[in-house]
Amino acid sequence: MHAYFARRLLQSIVVCLGVSIIAFGLMHLGGDPALLLLPVDASKEDVEVMRKSLSLDRPIYEQYWRFLKGAVKGDFGNSLFVEQDSLSLVIERLPATLELTVAGMALALTIAIPLGILSAIKRYSILDNLATMGAVFGQAMPIFWLGIMLIIIFSVHARLLPASGRGGVLRLVLPAITLGVFLAPVIMRLTRSKMLDVLAQDYIRTAYSKGLHDLLILFKHALRNAIIPVVAIIGLQFGRLLGGALVVETVFAWPGVASLTVKAIKNCDYPLVQAAIISFALMIVIVNLLTDILIAALDPRIKYT
């Protein structure tokens, strides 16, 4: 077990290093921040002076090495446009993103797992067919379109819920629904599939033949084995959920890290973009590691060697 986690920790460091290289390279292909910081009529001499002050005149490998040394210490430099420490800006916005992500995940699990179980029990029934059609529709539906439709229906016409901003439970409802519907179809279809596989096993038929209660068989014997792949996919989908949060925060003007990153990319704010991307990568790595631990706790037969 210790060797496994040591190897996973090493893999996580390599992943974060790879993410930093990709983010650093793509940002330097996106534009010159010196041109954005200066007036439109700035001379070439002014641009060169600005580039030198930002150390953009140095070779790309030297810039990356300087960035990497600072990132290891948690120092990504100051934002080029806000004039504050980049990591502090990300940490300041992080609670909003985590609040939205956790709410969307909780809503998705609340809808998807019970619906997947019922669809497996009532196989090929009207409920199963409707749930499957809803899952396919949910996967095919663009997340930004769903968010806009919810705003039009519940905010513009019905005037029941706020359309944007953060603060209070009501402002969380529409963004959480949008993000939850984005994730629920995958979890629902996997839960249904795994429940069907488990319910067809011999030990389930044996449990029924012994006269055990249906709920006991369903939750103690079937669901515990079927839920393990679902837990694994939830951990893997966390990164997809953060990607969805980027769109949702933009549509609902939610003040999280994702919307901050979009603005930073538009402004070619290198330090802020790199701090945000590395923070996202660390969160995804940590969630995947915790998922492995949870799977081992759910199934004692799993041994990491």
Let me know if residue 62 belongs to a domain. Answer: yes
Which one-letter DSSP state was computed for residue 105?
Answer: H
Q: How confident is the model at residue 37 (pLDDT cuts 50, 70, 90)?
A: low
Let me know if residue 303 belongs to a domain. Answer: no
- Can you give the pTM of this predicted structure? 0.79
For residue 34, CA distances in Å to 51, 57, 213 come to: 6, 11, 71
Asked if pLDDT for residue 166 goes beyond 60, the answer is yes
| pLDDT score of 243 | 76
The DSSP bridge partners found for residue 258 are none
Determine which of 122-126, 129-133, 157-161, 297-301 has the lowest per-residue pLDDT on average. 297-301
Domain of residue 215, CATH code: 1.10.3720.10
The mean pLDDT value for 29-34 works out to 67
The number of residues making up the chain comes to: 305
Asked if pLDDT for residue 129 goes beyond 80, the answer is yes
The mean pLDDT value for 83-102 works out to 87
One domain, residues 65 and 190: no
Q: How confident is the model at residue 168 (pLDDT cuts 50, 70, 90)?
A: confident
| pLDDT score of 152 | 92
One domain, residues 193 and 276: yes
Let me know if residue 35 belongs to a domain. Answer: yes
How many structural domains are present in the chain? Answer: 2
One domain, residues 102 and 64: no
3-state secondary structure of 78: strand
Let me know if residue 81 belongs to a domain. Answer: no
Let me know if residue 304 belongs to a domain. Answer: no
The mean pLDDT value for 178-184 works out to 88
One domain, residues 235 and 118: yes
From the number of C-beta atoms within 10 Å of its C-beta (0-12, 13-18, 19+), residue 190 rates as buried
Domain containing residue 240: 91-298
Tokens standing for residue 49: 């002076």
- Answer with the one of 45, 72, 99 that is the final residue of a domain: 72
pLDDT tens per residue, range 242-294: 777 888 888 888 888 888 888 888 777 788 888 888 888 888 888 887 887 77
Tokens standing for residue 99: 């609040």
One domain, residues 191 and 288: yes
Let me know if residue 77 belongs to a domain. Answer: no
One domain, residues 110 and 244: yes
Amino acid making up residue 202: D
Contact 143, 217 (CB under 8 A): no
Q: How confident is the model at residue 36 (pLDDT cuts 50, 70, 90)?
A: low
| DSSP for 203-239, written as a single string | HHHHHHHTT--HHHIIIIIIHHHHHHHHHHHHHHHHH
Asked if pLDDT for residue 236 goes beyond 60, the answer is yes
Higher pLDDT, 64 or 46: 64
pLDDT tens per residue, range 198-223: 888 888 888 878 777 777 777 777 87
Asked if pLDDT for residue 305 goes beyond 60, the answer is no
| DSSP for 140-199, written as a single string | HS-HHHHHHHHIIIIIIIS--S-SS--SSSHHHHHHHHHHHHHHHHHHHHHHHHHHHHHH
Asked if pLDDT for residue 158 goes beyond 80, the answer is yes
Let me know if residue 201 belongs to a domain. Answer: yes
Let me know if residue 133 belongs to a domain. Answer: yes
The mean pLDDT value for 228-234 works out to 82
Amino acid making up residue 46: D
- Answer with the one of 72, 103, 123 that is the final residue of a domain: 72
Contact 5, 303 (CB under 8 A): no
Higher pLDDT, 293 or 88: 88
One domain, residues 227 and 179: yes
One domain, residues 53 and 175: no
Mean pLDDT, the chain, as a whole number?
82
